[in-house]
Amino acid sequence: MGLKSTIETNVENAFSILGDLTVDVTLTKNSNSYSFGTSDVSSKTTNVTVKGVLLANATLPNETGRTGSVLILKSADVGTLGPNDSFKVGQKTYRFRNYVDNGFTVEVEISGGTQ
């Protein structure tokens, strides 16, 4: 077993061990595409429910000294985030400002919390 697969296995184990400390997160991925042939713009929305860890008053990714809400998710569950994507935790929908993906986990700075 290589180092990468060992880390991936340990990330899976960590989320399993956290159990009820994880929250259900509905990731809404919004993407737009443009057809140069027809000049049409099409939109696609995909919802994916994943497990995540919500940290309040955490040090924000790429922000020395600033704190706020951070959502930690598995990279394999998230894929690439786009500027129109959002996260729903409980009854609140959040937008994200910044995120850091180390290839195994994604730390997302979330804000908003609208219902």
Domains of the chain: 3-114 (2.40.10)
Cβ-Cβ contacts under 8 Å for 64 (sequence gap 6 or more):
none
Q: What is the rounded CA–CA span in Å between residue 33 and residue 88?
A: 24
Place of tokens 């959002």: 86
Answer yes or no: are the C-beta atoms of 75 and 7 closer than 8 Å: no
Q: 17: pLDDT confidence band, cut at 50, 70 and 90?
A: very high
CA distances to 4, 34, 37, 54, 78 from 30, rounded to whole Å, are 30, 14, 22, 22, 13
Per-residue pLDDT, averaged over 75-79, amounts to: 90
pLDDT tens digit sequence for 89-115? 888 888 888 889 999 999 988 877 666
pLDDT at 42: 84
pLDDT tens digit sequence for 23-62? 999 999 888 888 898 888 888 888 999 999 988 776 666 6
